[in-house]
Structure 1
């Protein structure tokens, strides 16, 4: 965007962000309202009500700064915790940190693998799971509650279109980028006696997009303007409570997603982009630490925090809506009252026939837990249990299956939609012996090539980043920690990359923490500072994506991209090249996602005579062939990658052969190659 365009946008935003002068009356000074801490004025509570406030562009770090500087006095009256959006990285719950998927999670209490909103464009199709307002209308005890919405961002009317058509909303106001309109409508809904009010603002997001986080600039004005708008909503709630002593209001405030350091919205799953916040006027339960703690700096720290999926069950529990566990499909956990389990997740068992569930028990329990699969109870578990392997899965054929698990603890259900690429046992193809040029089972270190044509070891003698891990066959694997030192594979015979045909295949496991926008080589014989440089590279990028690259210099390159694996699960990865026919194929066979493949793609640009890269017969493992990928590529990350059954063939393997590797549950060593 050109500077003058940004300036014009910012000028408009300054007016839009200054809400105190428009709507609801009052002076231009910020209104500060004391928090509601369950004070009912001595009268019995007869009516539970909710004000849910959303805002785009209010990042947690900027909120912290504003509260510290005294420019956000109304937000400062609330209990605030950092939270996350985007699901769990490297799993089927992962979703891009954009407004559409994030607000869908707030409204549906689950992630894109359930609600179906994969990006902002997909928001036009609406939610494919029930929304907050559908649950409220369907519940016998809460159907009488009047439900109203006022929104500023264009994605919300699209998400709520089905609720409007079905009569789940009594009032819906599309204010189209006018935050003053949202404030006026929100105050009116509260004053009119509505019971559940959702207001959504967007001026801070527009200001950040226009000029970033300039100190004292338009962003600060827009964020302060939102706080003033929140003050008017809080004042309206307080006035209702003073006039109606039986009303007890829950006020919850959240943002859709984080922004990068420049104030921009991107789809990269960085900690910044995935960090949000949740603020309440009620105390959080014991599962949540809230007093403006430090912003998370790592993916693991972020994963331990509450999520946007927690808001829907919090609202439902507050107004007394108890959904039956047998039909439960909400991934979040209530943030007030009784605490259920948190951070529920699944991995596929080592034989691809079971699902291993794990979770956190943040508080003590009053009794046993109950576990259901697709609405049917399958186990009763002691209150301290934190993992369970479901070995009772049966399927008629190999394929991808999904199961809805619901765990009930302290009478609070939490669900997870698990997925498994179920594979019926098959026989390992005996043809895999044919043209096998190199093979490592990694049962010992130093690693030994059974064919005797290559060696594997650390780049720097005496600095060994390799260790033995546990593989997917009950044996050992090679773990390479490039923080200590990467590994190299050196060929003593003919260079595999100059064979007329060849295939490289191996089992691979990673937590994907190295996978950012810059990437990190998994296996490479080139200088991977550019994909166009001569040679071959398999690289790990954001969201557990593996990119298959070959180039020959002078800007010439060919790529296969967009193929993913599951974090912390063994997936089989293979690259097959036919230099004579000038085609290449890539395969990932994942225990959750199943088979992904791109077969016989034309090598349209690369000179196949230069696939030997640096011509040193060396492949970097968790590095490129220069042993300097990270220092040569700003932003690249070192870390741990795990390998098993690394093999090289001087022919193209068929898909059927590769599928026997994944489906036999046997290492190649059982063929005595």
Structure 2
């Protein structure tokens, strides 16, 4: 009997190891966390019921080197790359000069395994062609295996009107196709983007029209959520879903965004992930955490030089430290972090170059190694004068980074 039980356990373990990892992230445009919590959003709450829900700030850190406009395309690219605007270089919706040196989650997946299938379902064509850089030499010529987007250009089927009714219809179609395609094909990584909520916010601010649009978006998310449930049941796949937003809204009326008010920065993350860590639970999560969380879930190998540039921290799985900071003080840089575990050491790396952004390599030197539990170290830089210092905290289970800009 014991032998049969042992064999059964081995079989179950082998099945779990073989379970295919699949992920989808959904961005619904322009909704602060207070409204997700306030309104009737049963799908989002069902997803969070399997994992969790947390506020997650947008727009970088107010007044810091990584302060980032709370504007749509800017936020999307932070979600895609795990970096703030000082790195990815998308400052507005014109997406003038994205820096493709900071890879998107799609590029990491395709470069690790070209056989993986990626898909996008989006109102806006630029999400694929400009942000993800579909089939561009600068992005390694990665190409989406399936794309359903650009419907805003189809004025025959979706004639434009003053009340943005056409955007509502497009979102209906996008979510329907996303649900059907994911159910039938199960791509490895998908992005679903829905716009109508932002349009209603701009037109009506905090209002019944805006609130109705948010609740309708929750119904559209259900189409994807139902498809995932089907795939899990029929094919035994392990699915991660993350639902988020790109920015909040102004605190006075709810019409606008772009600045650094608390409500404009008040994003959120809902996910079915089970092994949520301190980054998620401590109230320090940001939209930059989504990319590394997906990479962690899908067991993607991110090259170390790239990992040292990622601003977000995976909110899934084991991590050693959160909340990095670095401040100059009298010829020294005081580096701090909050330890999540007492195990292991933190290696502190420093570079006075920023060659990564132009395709080169930075000259990092390990300047200290201390127990993670020490939570701080002082680095003497009096003999390394520079206008910029890049600091990396390499802990056993995750990597954190900060910049110090000397005025």
Partner of 1:169: 144
Partner of 1:426: none
User: CA–CA distance in 2 between the matches of 1:358 and 1:119?
Assistant: 32
Checking the alignment, whether the CA contact within 8 Å between 1:48 and 1:195 is kept in structure 2 is yes
Taking a change above 3 Å as real, the CA distance of residues 180 and 55 of structure 1, as seen in their structure-2 partners, is same
CA deviations over 1:325-367 (Å, ceiling 9, x no partner): 344210111101112422212222223xx43222222x21431
Taking a change above 3 Å as real, the CA distance of residues 56 and 393 of structure 1, as seen in their structure-2 partners, is farther
Checking the alignment, whether the CA contact within 8 Å between 2:79 and 2:290 is kept in structure 1 is yes
User: CA–CA distance in 2 between the matches of 1:171 and 1:126?
Assistant: 23
CA deviations over 1:537-576 (Å, ceiling 9, x no partner): xxxxxxxxxxxxxxxxxxxxxxxxxxxxxxxxxxxxxxxx
| 1:184 matched to 2:176 | yes
CA offset at residue 389 of structure 1? 2.5
CA offset at residue 155 of structure 1? 5.2
| 1:317 matched to 2:296 | yes
User: CA–CA distance in 1 between the matches of 2:143 and 2:369?
Assistant: 36
CA offset at residue 393 of structure 1? 6.5
| 1:149 matched to 2:141 | no
| 1:360 matched to 2:329 | no
CA deviations over 1:147-172 (Å, ceiling 9, x no partner): 11112246524543523322242223
Partner of 1:73: 42
CA deviations over 1:118-175 (Å, ceiling 9, x no partner): 2223x23234421111111122xx4322111112246524543523322242223324
Partner of 1:663: none
Checking the alignment, whether the CA contact within 8 Å between 2:104 and 2:132 is kept in structure 1 is no
The DSSP-based 3-state class of the residue aligned with 2:314 is coil
Which structure has more helix as a fraction of its residues? 2
- Structure 1: tracts of 5 or more residues without a match: 1-39, 291-300, 422-593, 595-673
Partner of 2:328: 348
Partner of 1:508: none
Please identify the structure whose Cα radius of gyration is greater.
Answer: 1
The DSSP-based 3-state class of the residue aligned with 1:272 is coil
Question: Which is further off, 173-182 or 226-235?
Answer: 173-182
Taking a change above 3 Å as real, the CA distance of residues 332 and 365 of structure 1, as seen in their structure-2 partners, is farther
| 1:412 matched to 2:387 | no
CA offset at residue 407 of structure 1? 1.8
Partner of 2:249: 259
CA offset at residue 324 of structure 1? 3.7
Partner of 1:380: 369
Partner of 2:159: none
TM-score of the two chains, using structure 1 as the length reference: 0.50
Checking the alignment, whether the CA contact within 8 Å between 1:325 and 1:413 is kept in structure 2 is no
- Structure 2: tracts of 5 or more residues without a match: 1-11, 153-166, 352-363
Partner of 2:3: none
Partner of 2:78: 105
The DSSP-based 3-state class of the residue aligned with 2:134 is helix
Checking the alignment, whether the CA contact within 8 Å between 2:243 and 2:271 is kept in structure 1 is yes
User: CA–CA distance in 2 between the matches of 1:267 and 1:157?
Assistant: 22
Which structure has more strand as a fraction of its residues? 1
Count of aligned pairs: 354
The DSSP-based 3-state class of the residue aligned with 2:213 is helix
Partner of 2:316: 336
User: CA–CA distance in 1 between the matches of 2:219 and 2:13?
Assistant: 26
Checking the alignment, whether the CA contact within 8 Å between 1:133 and 1:163 is kept in structure 2 is no
User: CA–CA distance in 2 between the matches of 1:250 and 1:393?
Assistant: 47
